[in-house]
Structure formats: C-alpha cells, structure tokens
Amino acid sequence: MSKIKNNVWNVLGLGFKLYFQNIGKFCLYMLLPTFGPLLGTILIFGLLMVAVNYQSVLLNVLTIKYYTILVFLLMLPGLIIMLKSVWELMVAYGALNSMTEALLTNGRLYDIKSHKDVITQRTFKYVVFLLCISILLSLSLLPFFWIIGAVFFVYFILVYQVFTFEKDASIIQCFKRSFNLIKGNFARTFLIMIILGLISNYLLPILANYLFEVIKINYFFRGYLEMFAQNYIPDSIRYTPLEIANGTIYMSTCYIVSMLTLPLRSAVWTIWYKNLSSRKK
C-alpha cells in the first residue's frame, strides 16, 4: 500500500486491476442487485397490464373487492423481487468494501456471506445511516443547496468505507471522519470521482450500446418497446414510439453498466480510504 500513497493514478490502476481480475465473481454477486429491480418492474407492469386488459372479463366473475385483491396478488411477486434486490444493492455498498479489503490483504475473494455480514449484523444502524444519506441527497437537489451539496458530496464520499471498517463509529462520526479524511485531499478526490464517473456512466455505456447494436440485442428489445409505446403511451407525448424505445434501451444500458461497475468504484474508494486513513489516524 505504501507505493500508492498520494498517487491518484496508482490508486485507480490498482482498483481497476482488482476489479478485472475478479470481474466474474463481482458480476455474479451483482446479478440480483442489478437485474432484480428490472425483473420486478417487468413483472409488476406486465401482470398489471394483463389485469387491466381483461378487467371487464374478470369483473363479470369477481367483485371490485376481489378484483383489487387479485391485482395486488399479481403485483406481489414483482414487489418482493424489487424490495429484495434493492436491499441487496444497499448491502453491496458496504459488502464490496469488505471484499476489496480481503483482496488487498490475501488476494482472495471467498465466503461472500461473511462480507455481507459486516453490514447485516448492524442492520438497524445501517438503515438509519442510509436514511441520513437519503435526507442529505434530497436536500442537495434543492436549487439553494446545489453548490454546497456538490462540495459536501465530495467530502462525504468515503462514508460507506468509514461505516464498513470503523464499526464503533456513530453515524455522525462516519460523516465527520469522511470529511476529515478528504480535507486537504479535495482536488485529488474530485479527480478520482470525475474519472470514475466518466468511465462507468459515460464511456462504458456508449461502448455497451455499440456492442449491443452490433450483435442485434438492441434490435430485439427495440421492437417490443416500440410496440408497447404505440399501444400504451398517450399520443400527447411529444416523443415518437421509436424515440421512447431507443431512450429506454439507452437508460437501461446505463443503469446496468453502472451497477455492474459498482465493485470497481467501491474498490477504488476503499483503496483511497485505506491510503488516507493510514496517514490520518
């Protein structure tokens, strides 16, 4: 670790190395957090459309009360999958830090459950921690807080790492600790953030969309999405069904790439946390 202290490029290089050396295990771990919400959404709206399309038939044999119960039951599997996958994603924000530490320590990644336990053994505290983050993010969306919110986003970028590794720290202390670690290292932290954002949210989605076009995956989904838009999207919408289909495909690709590269971002931020914390006890 001493060779990469104070060097942003070596931190990024090591993070990319750990990610691509273990990309199979990382992607396998991220399958449910990534595709669970998409599958849940498809199930909810797909089965809901069936209930709506056959509403008149169902109401001939069911009362409004039982029809409503049927609609809820049809939506329930999708809701369960969605909630489960969202929770797994929240846990991943901490578990991936623990996985990175294991790779840095002994070069091996195994017993995924033990890394998840680092977070799930403090479930209540973690939920409160996530609630605090959600409140801060919501405040930062208000125009008055845009600038200060962006600044504090950089200062608080390591809160997940602090929560993961400094188990005795209170929630307030997690934010204070992240702030103190970034203090004096703001520019380099911001540079890491920009590079990771460009790669995972811009360059890789463009590359993935290009590859999907080449192997015709986008063509397959575009037809179904365009047909759905023609049948269910109001004509008052100023976008054509084809534009809606292409936009949906692109946004879905961006989401999938962003989720599958979360281990990369966690690895880089964990390495950065380890470097900074070794110099700021």
pLDDT per position as a tens digit, 91-113: 999 999 999 999 999 888 888 99
**Does a structural domain hold residue 62?**
no
Give the global pTM. Answer: 0.88
How does residue 222 score in pLDDT terms, banded at 50, 70 and 90?
Answer: confident
**Does a structural domain hold residue 50?**
no
Q: Residue 265 burial (CB < 10 Å; 0-12/13-18/19+)?
A: buried
**Does a structural domain hold residue 150?**
yes
Average per-residue pLDDT for the chain:
90
**Does a structural domain hold residue 242?**
yes
Q: Closest Cα partner for 274 from 77, 40, 105, 47? A: 105
pLDDT of residue 6: 63
pLDDT per position as a tens digit, 169-216: 999 999 999 999 999 999 999 999 999 999 998 999 999 988 888 887
pLDDT of residue 157: 96
**Does a structural domain hold residue 83?**
no
| Structural domain count of the chain | 1
Which domain, by its residues, includes 27? Answer: 2-31+115-279
Angstrom distance (rounded) from CA 75 to CA 77: 6
Residue 280 pLDDT > 70? no
252 versus 232: the higher-pLDDT residue is 252
Query: Under the phi-then-psi rule, with left for phi > 0, alpha for psi from -120 to 50, and beta for the rest, what region is 239?
Result: beta
**Does a structural domain hold residue 19?**
yes
Radius of gyration from C-alpha coordinates of the chain: 22
Please identify which residue in the block is written with the tokens 């039982």: 66
**Does a structural domain hold residue 63?**
no
**Does a structural domain hold residue 183?**
yes
